[in-house]
Amino acid sequence: MTHVLETDRLGKRFAGVPALSGVDFRLGAGEIHALVGHNGAGKSTLVKILTGVHAAGSYEGSFRIGGATATFSSPAAARAEGVAYVPQEIQVVEQLSVAENVYVGQTGLDTAPLVSFRELRRRAGELLDRLEIPIDPRSPVAALSATQRQLVMIARALATEPHVLILDEPTASLAGTETERLFAVLDRLRDAGTTMVFITHRIPEVMRMCDRATVLRDGRKVAEIEREQFSERAIVAAMVGREVDHLYPTRSGAHGEQEVLRLEHVSVPHPTRPRDVLRDVSFSARRGEIIGIAGVVGAGRTELLSALYGSLPHGGTISVEGRALKLRNPAAARRAGIAMLTEDRKGTGLLFNFALRENITAGNLSGLSRGGWVDRRGEQRAAAGFMQSLRIKAPSPGADVAHLSGGNQQKILLARVLMNAPRIMLLDEPTKGVDVETRQEIYRLILDLADRGVTLLVVSSEIAELVGLCDRCLVLADGAIVDEFRRGEGSEARVIEATTTATGAAA
């Protein structure tokens, strides 16, 4: 096999602590190569070396692109040498058109004093046609779906005609049907000879898409698996260092019968269009019940949780323990015992200018304050307690959250949500971007909270997660509930059929 990219014992340390140790990584021409491992395994460090974020001289070992030793001083140098990167977080400029986003910072029209937007649209249109991406280059990016924005980012990366395309969790923000549309584009790219590194926590995606897989654990390469040897059990075992018997833990008891939450004819208006993004939603939830909310991106899942948390204006009636509430803001929701874990931990969750302890106690200082002064020792003890109970891996409560893995960052936000001992928890994509082992910890935490009487509403783009974890699932499509089933009655096929049929009928 011809290797487009090869590394030779790559290593990287932070404050003397190894994040990557002696990693040999080989990327074959025209293959989709999975790079997997739990949070903190070294994936991000490896990618940052390959893309020039960690400049030559700051790491041990070396690597080659097309047989030539690479000494990238910056991400721009990596792009110039044919390494393109599509980050996990969708990064587009909403004020610009699709064509402008595709070529932002790389128009290549250096001979003209001004950019020709007609030429820009023509070139973007040709690129999108070649990729068989049905998006008008004149469209404003603000009007695109999450899938379309992801495809625009891929088109931007491919506009430089790279030797290697690195995709970091490209499906993290996508639902099932949208993921399949993205996979169809990646299949066509592979058929055309594009070489890709595919970083994911979702093992079924490795099985579906990839030709080989490299597994990292604790900064070291622990396995390189050929496609004919792929199995979910083998990959997961390599990631966590042991066999994992059950992905979804079994609940020991049943939920209570007392009604805790009731929604009656709840709607959320669209901010700019004359239609509701959530339409006439009614259901109830019992004490200790885990309710899954399924549906594609744009179906109204996040809007439902946001209305319950008081962060979106809404109509209809929301009652907690038989009392109708006016949830005009999150503070009102918190007073009613409702807490919410945001989907976007970096954008609206973590406070990167504060330490770990302040990130846990943010919004929860009433029990740690007297006379307007915060009890810093009490805050330290509270943060240390959550670090122990949730197994947050960090040097101390004063640690910088920016340097922690995605799984540990997610646990910090869970600690913040749990600190006020809520009666109702709203979890928006609680396992997004976390590894298999951290997922299992979050699953066990959800079941433990339910057994203690907390009612949970869980939004997830992974249907199998909802089917395997929840007592009951509601399926949303076009802002309305189109199906409902209890544990043991549903399947991925049932959810997909319900959402696609409803969407097709609505269109």
In the predicted model, what is the mean pLDDT of residues 261-268? 95
pLDDT at 6 over 90: yes
DSSP β-bridge partners for residue 129: none
Q: Phi and psi dihedrals of 448, rounded to 5?
A: -65, -45
Can you give the pLDDT at residue 319? Answer: 95
Place of tokens 């101390």: 396
Say what the pLDDT of residue 177 is. 66
Identify the pLDDT of residue 39: 66
Residues in a beta bridge with 434:
none
Lowest mean pLDDT among 184-188, 328-332, 488-492: 488-492
CB proximity list for 143: less than 8 A, separation 6 or greater: none
Strand partners, 220: 217
Token digits of residue 230: 């792929």
In this prediction, residues 216-228 reach a mean pLDDT of 91
Domains and CATH numbers, the chain: 3-240 (3.40.50.300), 247-337+424-507 (3.40.50.300), 351-421 (no CATH)
pLDDT of residue 108: 53
Write out pLDDT tens, residues 50-68. 999 999 999 999 999 988 9
Assign 503 a pLDDT band (cuts: 50, 70, 90).
very low
Coil/strand/helix, residue 13: strand
Segment 378-386 mean pLDDT: 89
Q: Helix 232-240 crosses helix 436-451 at what angle (to 10 degrees)?
A: 90
Instruction: Considering only residues 432 and 263, tell me which one the structure prediction assigns the higher pLDDT.
Output: 263
Give the pLDDT confidence score for residue 26 in this predicted structure: 93
**pLDDT by residue (tens digit) across 417-428?**
888 889 999 999
Residue 286 has a pLDDT of 95
With cut-offs at 50, 70 and 90, classify the pLDDT of residue 502.
low
Residue 203: both structure tokens together:
């093992």
Mean pLDDT over 340-367 rounds to: 84
The rounded distance, in Å, linking the Cα atoms of 373 and 24 is: 53
Residue 439, pLDDT above cutoff 90 = no
Greatest mean pLDDT among 124-138, 245-259, 267-281, 321-335 lies in 321-335
Q: What is the Cα–Cα distance from 14 to 24, expressed in whole angstroms?
A: 20
> Do 458 and 466 meet the contact criterion of CB atoms below 8 Å apart?
yes
